[in-house]
Amino acid sequence: MADAKVIPFDDDGRRRRRTDGPQDAPPRASAAHDAPQEPPPSESGAPPRTDAPEDDAPPQGRGWEERAARGLAFLRRRITGDYEVDDFGYDAELTDQVLMSLLRPLYETYFRVEVKGIENIPADGAALVVANHSGTLPLDGLMLQVAVHDNHPAGRTLRLLAADLVFMLPVVNELARKAGHTLACAEDAHRLLGRGEVVGVMPEGFKGLGKPFAERYKLQRFGRGGFVSTALRTGAPIVPCSIVGAEEIYPMLGNSRTLARLLGLPYFPVTPTFPWLGPLGAVPLPTKWTIQFGEPIPTDGYAPEAADDPMLMFNLTDQVRETIQHTLYKLLVQRRSVFF
């Protein structure tokens, strides 16, 4: 190792100017530095390679090739019919690779959904997720499905129970079936829970989805408690779920009942932007969402005939409803802004 060059300094710490030679002449490089540097030979005597080997290609290139290969394989299976669906029409591959990918930008970037308590959904076995319903259009159900799909540590899939209107619409019907949705009836719910699936239900139905903006975050009646009966018969725990943020995406100021009857809809919403702005009025407001899963309420400790006890069903239904309503109020108090 060469000796370090010592730079003299004055007593006050300033660098001392040299007086024993010209100041402006730069130091002349040595002959060794003037000559071009040759790379050292390898141990075998062969000159070293200057080009990168093919194995060291940028990972971005390999990533694109792998994605392209997977995409082509996916298309080949779609064209040849070499894929599986269950007896409800659920297509796991299409949901994972296409439908979730289409919903994820809305979930992550637009609504910026924050998920809490996802660990309250069991890692295996049946569970019934009961959530509030709001927002004029059922986007909350789709965001709830993405929340479970992307955040559950065991990779569980949420099978939503949907209203019959969903399966009467031509394109929506097929997509809903492919995404794992099924008719909101006791028979289908019992079959799914009996197979150990995570089932989602929103007992408010259209009453919650189409309520006016003045009644936001006030839960409507939970029907007759049919979801409790199904949980009791299968022994599945009930997981209360509270969703904040969906109420404000389409502030419903009125309901045109005449148009609703003509179109065969449960309601025809009137919002600050719809129908005044036409299709542009159907764009939801970019509110900030929070989805919180509460502690599960066990049902496996009850006798089989408990599902026929109306008083027990009423008490459990009221317990689930009060839990969701209390959590909604707590989340609203913690929320700083509707949009941020």
Rounded distance, CA 45 to CA 30, Å?
28
Q: Place 19 in a pLDDT band, splitting at 50, 70 and 90.
A: very low
Return the higher-pLDDT residue of 19 and 219: 219
Does residue 181 lie in a domain region?
Answer: yes
Closest CA to 313 of 327, 299, 293: 299
Closest CA to 17 of 5, 25, 8, 26: 8
Does residue 291 lie in a domain region?
Answer: yes
Long-range contacts of the stretch 327-336 (C-beta < 8 A, 24+): 327/240, 327/242, 327/292, 327/294, 328/132, 328/217, 328/219, 328/242, 328/244, 329/217, 331/242, 331/244, 331/290, 331/292, 332/217, 332/244, 335/244, 335/288, 335/290
By percentage, how much of the chain surpasses pLDDT 70? 82
Rounded distance, CA 162 to CA 202, Å?
8
The pTM (predicted TM-score) of the whole model is: 0.79
Q: What's the average model confidence in pLDDT over 272-282? A: 92
Does residue 269 lie in a domain region?
Answer: no
Does residue 213 lie in a domain region?
Answer: yes
- Tokens encoding 102: 């289409």
- Tokens encoding 237: 């725990």
Neighbours of 92 (CB within 10 A): 15
Return the higher-pLDDT residue of 210 and 1: 210
Rounded distance, CA 179 to CA 93, Å?
10
Contact of 303 with 312, CB cutoff 8 Å:
no
Rounded distance, CA 212 to CA 3, Å?
83
Domain count, the chain: 1
Does residue 20 lie in a domain region?
Answer: no
Determine the structural domain holding residue 160 and report its residue range: 80-249+284-334
Q: What's the average model confidence in pLDDT over 14-25? A: 43
Look at residue 47 and tell me whether its pLDDT is greater than 70.
Answer: no
CATH of the domain at 153: 3.40.1130.10
Does residue 151 lie in a domain region?
Answer: yes
Residue 71's pLDDT is: 82
Q: Place 89 in a pLDDT band, splitting at 50, 70 and 90.
A: very high
Q: Look-up: residue for tokens 């062969």?
A: 46
Does residue 70 lie in a domain region?
Answer: no
337 to each of 23, 218, 329, 332, 334, how far by Cα in Å? Answer: 66, 19, 14, 9, 9
Does residue 261 lie in a domain region?
Answer: no
The string of pLDDT tens digits covering residues 142-152 is 999 999 999 99
